[in-house]
Amino acid sequence: PDIAALSEDRVHMHVSGADVAKPCISFAHFGFDDALLDSIIKYGYSEPTGIQKQAVPVALSGRDIIGIAKTGKLVNENKNFVILVLFIRILDDQLVVVYLGSGKTAAFIWPMLVHIMDQGELDKGEGSIGLILAPTRELANQIYIEAKKFAKSYSLRVAAVYGGASKMDQFKELRSGGVEILVGTPGRLIDMVKMKATNFRRVSFLVLDEADRMFDLGFEPQVRSICDNLRPDRQTLLFSATFPKKVERLAREVTVEPVRISIGNVG
Ligand code: ADP
Ligand code: MG
């Protein structure tokens, strides 16, 4: 399905901030190496989505991002709807686009991979470089799957930690070392640090995904405690479907001179 073309037509994008990198209209213009480009093509992505066109060059330039985009909620939240979408996909490719989401995950995973590969010789076992906070186990898993698809190109390891699953298994996985990208729900991430399964000392690329939902679920203290314990010189990307005052306050506190990208009728 031509996700990119349709998302471009249907949604309105607003970008604000000083000295914002220009959008790139095709994958070839991102400056990715062949390993990453090949895997993007292998997964059948023919063109970047609207948010990818704008957010990827900004993230690659090292800037912080506040991304406000309402799309993709239906697929995430309603399993019956996924079935319906699969049906529509057979009947008419183009309709799928509306429900699939805007491709935010890859928009932060690709620059995260470039950032990690730019660190030079990776020292194993010292904690992750990329850290992604997500509100729920389901979302953490979706991000984990998308991250693994592309991390494979560089033989980087990804791990996901969340509540409702064995702490011991997650502990062992992190302790085995070499996990460069860690995805998790805030509470379980803190548990893992307390258990000394990992530490946040090397985290220099932070993503807060679905920040409004993390707040709705009561994770504000955990999110703040994690952010307060990270290197202040990190790069931070925050995504949220809605932008209420308390999320706006957090966004202001955890980012530095962010570029704000909003899609749809929000913000
Ligand atoms: P959201 O913005 O809602 O978080 P996701 O990142 O979950 O959206 O992406 C939704 C789906 O679109 C995923 O299955 C992902 O693999 C796919 N996708 C992402 N980018 C592209 C692209 N450029 N072309 C085709 N499919 C894409
Ligand atoms: Mg998402």
Q: What is the pLDDT along the chain (267 residues), one digit of tens a residue?
A: 344 444 444 457 889 998 899 999 999 999 999 999 999 999 999 999 889 999 999 999 999 999 998 755 443 333 444 444 444 444 444 333 334 568 999 999 999 999 999 987 765 557 999 999 999 999 999 999 999 999 999 999 999 999 999 999 999 999 998 899 999 999 999 999 999 999 999 999 999 999 999 999 999 999 999 999 999 999 999 999 999 999 999 999 999 999 999 987 543
| Domain assignment present for 49 | yes
CA of 263 to the centre of ligand 1 (A): 15
Would strands 259-263 and 235-240 be described as parallel, antiparallel, or unpaired? unpaired
Specify the pLDDT at position 76: 37
Specify the pLDDT at position 102: 83
- Distance set, CA 35 to CA 84, 155, 223 (Å): 34, 11, 33
Specify the pLDDT at position 122: 60
Residue of 47, 146, 238 with the most ligand 1 atoms within 8 Å of its CB, for mutation: 146
Sheet holding 130-133, edge to edge: 13-16, 259-263, 65-69, 235-240, 205-208, 130-133, 179-184, 157-161
Question: Is the separation of the CB atoms in 92 and 141 below 8 Å?
Answer: no
Contacts of 49 (CB under 8 A, 6+ apart): 3, 4, 7, 8, 102, 103, 107
Question: Is the separation of the CB atoms in 21 and 31 below 8 Å?
Answer: no
For residue 106, which of 241, 237, 267 has the smallest C-alpha distance?
Answer: 237
- Nearest ligand to the CA atom of 106: 1
Domain tally, the chain: 1
Average pLDDT over the chain reads: 86
pTM of the model: 0.87
Nearest CA to ligand 1 atom 5: 103
Q: Which domain holds residue 232?
A: 3-262
Q: What CATH number does the domain containing 150 carry?
A: 3.40.50.300
| Domain assignment present for 267 | no
Residues with a CB atom less than 6 Å from ligand 1: 3-4, 45, 48-49, 52, 71-72, 100-106, 146
pLDDT in tens, 60-81: 999 999 999 875 544 333 344 4
Residue of 2, 32, 41, 45 with the most ligand 1 atoms within 8 Å of its CB, for mutation: 45
Distance, C-alpha 265 to centroid of its chain: 21
